[in-house]
Chains A and B, each alone.
Chain A
Amino acid sequence: MPQIKTMQQLFKRERRSGDLVFALLFLVFAIFLLANIGNQTQWVKGTKLVSQPSFWPAISLGGMTFFAVLHLLGSVLSPRIFGRLKEIGFWLRSFEYAAWFLAYVWLVPIIGYLLATLLFMPILVFRAGYREKRLLLLSVVIGFAIVVVFKSFLSVKIPGGMIYEYLPDAIRSFMLINF
């Protein structure tokens, strides 16, 4: 019993709801990667240890697993804070916005950067719960400004939309260059 108490003192730390789930998942992930080191890296004969392709993956995954075990231990031995399921629910809700982001990425090469942005921003602002006309309009203005600054002025590499192909020649080249 005293040894257990000593260990608890040594590893105790502040933890938040969901910490144990994260610590456990991270450890499983680290062990999975470490278990695959034989399949996923090569051992080259006649090469020094530090020059082996598997040397750094072994170091990093060994370290990941070692620290993940200690982190999990700290999580188990620290006082629990309730609200784990609620917290995981919070994490999962972020997937919706990741999906919105990917939908936007998917749309840009089809309908073009300008149109995709002018649609994406007000729709997402609406989805975020804003109903004021002022904010919806502001989102359109900011969307337009972002496109003009990055595509027209800074010429970042964003391809034109497929629908630009249907535009008259003069307008098409203008749209391809600027929007």
Chain B
Amino acid sequence: MDILLQAIDNLLRWDVLVALLIGSIGGVLIGAIPGVGAAVAIAILLPATFSLDPLVGLTLLLGIYGSSMYGGSIPAILINTPGTAVNALTTYDGYPMTQRNEARRALSLAYSASFMGGIFSVICLMLLSPLLALIAPHFGSREIFLAALLGIILVVLAHRGKVFAAGMLVCFGIFLNNIGLEPMRYTKRYTFEQSWLASGIDLIVVILGLFALSQAFLLLVKKDERPEAAMVSGGIFQGLKELWLYKRVATVASSFGVLMGMIPGVGEFTAQFMSYTYAQKTSKTPEKFGNGSPEGLVASEAANNAVPAAAMIPLLALGIPGEALTAMMLSVFYVHNVIPGPQLFQNQMDFVMALYIALLLLNVMVLIFLLFSTNMILKVIRIPTRFLGVVILTLSFVGVYSLRNSMTDCAIAAAFGVFGLILKRLDLPTVPIILGMVLGNIMEVKLRSSMPRVKTPLDFIDRPIAAILFGIILVVIIMHIRSVVKEYRSSH
């Protein structure tokens, strides 16, 4: 109880509340603009938050992360263009509903389902906290190494149909982390006698290049588009009542979101896929799925909104980010000397609880904002795409240049911007590069520090959690091979 009161006290500061308000409303607007998304916004804002108090900075970023998917459903439903990539499934049922003149109903249901997913996820987090605080201290170097390795494997295997590309890009990320002075003996690695490579390649520079600059270049090179969306008339409160009819689907979808969010490297897409499949299989009208089924819409939106809060679990408890956005947030922790991991749960539980309550508050703020301002948001959707590209390019400068005032950083970011554009055009993933950089660093440090106590390979997994993690890694690999073989046999 003391922890809860302390957490509320931490949050009841004007700067934290303003950050939460700006983050949540800004996140909705950013999510609603097709072609921007939370990753671009967080990448740009990241260096600016370094000068802020850790709670203020994280609340701002969390606000954007947690609310962008709410906004992303608006263009997905109204103009068949997902605002963020994770709203793609929403177009399947949202847009057909708009075509049937049910736009108001679809938006209302999407907001309500998102709200349900968000709140459900935060409540799960709060209930799980005592358990996490109990388990987290049992994670030593070996366990954290194995958890990071599991994250790497999952991020590769989660990209079905692109496993080889994800594999080479995750390895590229690990390699990028190796460039510069090596941390133990300070020998140079892959500097090619260039002084600018000696300090290594900064994670934030790569993030800004791959997410923000690449998107700006893509928008500027592509044909200009001016999305049009008709205004929505009437109130949109009915969804809160209608959601009650789909409470089973919403609860199961939110649970999938929480489960998948907790596993590093998996995230929204798998959660949505599982929820949608479940909803379709158990529906009395499965034929409506993909043609404007309210159940499909609820499954998709509840699942994706349950992920952000759950994705904070591996980050806060183990210091292992599960996807690109939490990887970005990790750098905010490091800059403020707040090290996520078991110690955080033991020593700064009030800080962790404050973040949870902030997530809870942001869902309420966003729902209220959306219920009254959908038509205002539609004006933001209409920004011409090339104009948007210019704005993102100008904003990206702040992100890269303010890090070290280095022209070299900007040139590296521009190079990664072009590389990111090529990956996007080829429909190849960028997230494995970022996770490779972050998890590669964790694996290198933790493997070294765990070796003095390891005499034989079996010693590595002689502790219960290490053995469980190793077992999960084996099961994941075997299951993947089995599914590939099964798929291959069924196609013959």
Contact A42 B187 (CB under 8 A): yes
Taking A48-B451, A53-B185, A158-B405 as contacts, is the C-beta distance between A91 and B164 under 8 angstroms? no
Main secondary structure of the interface of B (DSSP, over half): helix
Residues of A within 8 A of B451 (CB): 48, 50-51
Contact B164 A71 (CB under 8 A): yes
Residue of A10, A154, A156 touching B488 (CB-CB under 8 A): A10
Contact A146 B221 (CB under 8 A): no
Residues of B within 8 A of A130 (CB): 384, 386-387
Bound-complex Cα distance A19 to B164 (A): 13
Residues of B within 8 A of A67 (CB): 164-165, 167-168, 171
Bound-complex Cα distance A142 to B200 (A): 34
Contact B418 A64 (CB under 8 A): no
Residue of A nearest to B443 (CB): A56
Taking A22-B426, A102-B411, A106-B407 as contacts, is the C-beta distance between A124 and B390 under 8 angstroms? yes
Say yes or no for B39: interface residue by CB 8 A criterion.
no
| Stretch from B69-77, B330-338, B395-403 at the A interface | B395-403
| Stretch from B212-220, B239-247, B321-329, B341-349 at the A interface | B212-220
| Stretch from B189-197, B250-258, B373-381 at the A interface | B189-197
Residue of A nearest to B385 (CB): A128
In the complex, which range does the number of interface residues on chain B fall in? 35 or more
Residues facing B in A7-24 (CB within 8 A) are 9-10, 13-16, 18-19, 22
Contact A63 B51 (CB under 8 A): no
Say yes or no for B410: interface residue by CB 8 A criterion.
yes
| Stretch from B172-180, B275-283, B289-297 at the A interface | B172-180
Bound-complex Cα distance A36 to B191 (A): 11
Taking A50-B451, A74-B164, A128-B386 as contacts, is the C-beta distance between A105 and B397 under 8 angstroms? yes
Taking A51-B451, A97-B217, A105-B401 as contacts, is the C-beta distance between A117 and B394 under 8 angstroms? yes
CB-CB contacts of A69-93 with B at 8 A, as 1s and 0s? 0110010000000000001001101
Bound-complex Cα distance A68 to B190 (A): 20
| Most central of B390, B401, B410 by chain A CB within 10 Å | B390
Contact B390 A64 (CB under 8 A): no
Bound-complex Cα distance A48 to B185 (A): 13
Residue of A48, A102, A135 touching B414 (CB-CB under 8 A): A102
CB-CB contacts of B420-440 with A at 8 A, as 1s and 0s? 011001111000000010001
Total residues of chain A contacting the partner, CB 8 A: 73
Residues of A within 8 A of B264 (CB): none
Contact A68 B168 (CB under 8 A): yes
Residues facing A in B120-170 (CB within 8 A) are 161-162, 164-165, 167-168, 170
CB-CB contacts of A143-165 with B at 8 A, as 1s and 0s? 10010001000111111000000
Say yes or no for B94: interface residue by CB 8 A criterion.
no
Bound-complex Cα distance A51 to B440 (A): 14
Residues of B within 8 A of A120 (CB): 394
Contact B189 A57 (CB under 8 A): yes
| Most central of B182, B218, B415 by chain A CB within 10 Å | B182
Contact B410 A101 (CB under 8 A): yes
Contact B168 A139 (CB under 8 A): no
Bound-complex Cα distance A53 to B162 (A): 31
Taking A63-B167, A105-B397 as contacts, is the C-beta distance between A90 and B221 under 8 angstroms? yes
11 contacts between A and B (CB under 8 A): A15-B426, A16-B425, A56-B444, A94-B220, A94-B221, A108-B397, A124-B393, A128-B224, A128-B389, A146-B394, A146-B398
